[in-house]
Amino acid sequence: MRIKQTWVLILCIAVIAAGVLGCGSEQERETKVVIAQGVDARTMDPHMHAETTTTNVLIHIFDRLFTRDEDMELIPHLAEEAKVMDDLIWEITLKEGIYFHNGESFNADSVKFSIDRIIKPGSKSPVVSSLNTIDQVKVMDDVTVRIITKVPDPILPNRLTLMMVPKEYILKHGDEYFAEHPVGTGPYELVSWTRDEEVVLQANEEYWLGPPAIETVVFRSIPENSVRIAELQTGSVDLIVNVPPHQIGSVEETGHSRVVSTPSGRRIYVQLVADQGGKIADPKVRQALNYAVDVPELIETILDGHGYASTQPLTPLDFGYHPEAEGFSYDPKRAQELLTEAGYPEGISIQLDTCSGRYVMDREVAEALIGQMAEAGIEAELTVNEWGVHIEKLLEKQMEHAFLIGVGTVLFDADAALFSHLRSGERLSYYSNEELDGLLDQARQEMDLKTRENFYHQAIEVILEDPPFIFLHQQEDIYGVHEDLQWQPRADELIYAYHMSFNR
């Protein structure tokens, strides 16, 4: 049952979580698996980041109330069930007998504390917009909480893929200490973290779903594609992310590794700074920027065909996707006409920021964009940021005109994809449109599926008329995997070592 499309419900998907998330205490024990991402984790506090690369580390240390199986179906994890009491109240029942790594009991107080530390006034959590429909959390008993929302929230269980943290430990040691010395209920515990190099995790032998089959998990930070591939070829790592499409043959030629891929829930686009005045504030300029970009050509030449042109800021995996949205086509002449109508007959100059190594061919895509836009009279100066700098500039509103970014979500719902990035005043938003605000607000509290979906279709039509982005592509995630490692990619980009095994 797909929760995001069901709200007259009692969510009691029995403990298939144990079967789906369970690993192979039955499998032969392996010593170590090494995973190479392009960037390091930014923090060990699961509530103070919004990046998948950090999440991939932290899902081994922390558990969630709800999670998703390999088919992206929402299932209970630390929660036992969720049920609707009335339009503003959800009741969550928890599993019993689960403990944090320090021996502290996981219970209803843990849930209340975990949610409250995000939604409290002045919260700097980048995920607060996902939970700001919540008014309060009431502890009913040790295994029951009631979540009272400000308005009806049809997808509250989707939002509760939030990781649970230990109340007493954090109150004793403080947030800063916790951000470097995490304690969760998950299948692994932190051994060491050498920033920008590696994170080492050790199996939690007392894990409530059974001890992991792999004893040690190492996440290495390797920004350069060629270095990640070389490390895979030599056997120094077992799994690498973001294999450049044109290097798939290099991964496979040694015979010791293979390539696996899947359509991703991530959209890659250039976010435009539309709410700060100046030339980018003009919708005609933003339309021109979209007409100046040949996305199919980018996909064919830079991504070697491994990507899917976007017509909107959602993917077909998301609830609210508009199947009839046409998007923008490549038309440099139309781009020039729009710039002239906006008062820039000689073209414009913009600043374009990008990261390097975070997404598949991110820097190369940005460089190609510059060449394409030049043909329409748009001169772009490129700044390449280290990933941590890129995110800090985004969060601190330091981006000048435009920046390349990729957005994925564990909710697979238009609310997550649109609200935090496009609602006026939200922390990740560089955009303001009153009509869109109204549609997003209505959709967020609409309990009827069809009506809610219609609000999002209207929202996408507004977005295409007043574009906040240069729409690029839905990413295809490409991984290099050691020939003996049993693992399959997921649409949400999460890498669970708990699900891995070796076929020696």
Of the candidates 220, 197, 218, 225, the residue with the CA atom closest to the CA atom of residue 359: 225
Least reliable range by pLDDT among 34-48, 60-74, 241-255: 241-255
305: which residues sit within 8 A by CB, 6+ positions away? Answer: 245, 299
- Supply the pLDDT for residue 157: 95
Alpha carbons 365 and 381: distance in angstroms, whole number: 14
**Taking 70 as the threshold, does the pLDDT of residue 18 lie above it?**
no
- Supply the pLDDT for residue 186: 98
Alpha carbons 473 and 309: distance in angstroms, whole number: 4
Alpha carbons 168 and 397: distance in angstroms, whole number: 34
In the chain, the domains with their CATH numbers are: 3-185 (3.90.76.10), 263-476 (3.10.105.10)
**Taking 70 as the threshold, does the pLDDT of residue 6 lie above it?**
no
Amino acid identity of residue 389, one-letter, is: V
**Taking 80 as the threshold, does the pLDDT of residue 486 lie above it?**
yes
**Taking 70 as the threshold, does the pLDDT of residue 8 lie above it?**
no
163-222 tens-digit pLDDT = 999 999 999 999 999 999 999 999 999 999 999 999 999 999 999 999 999 999 999 999
Least reliable range by pLDDT among 24-28, 179-183, 282-286, 368-372: 24-28
Give the strand pairing for 378-385 and 348-355: parallel
- Supply the pLDDT for residue 5: 36
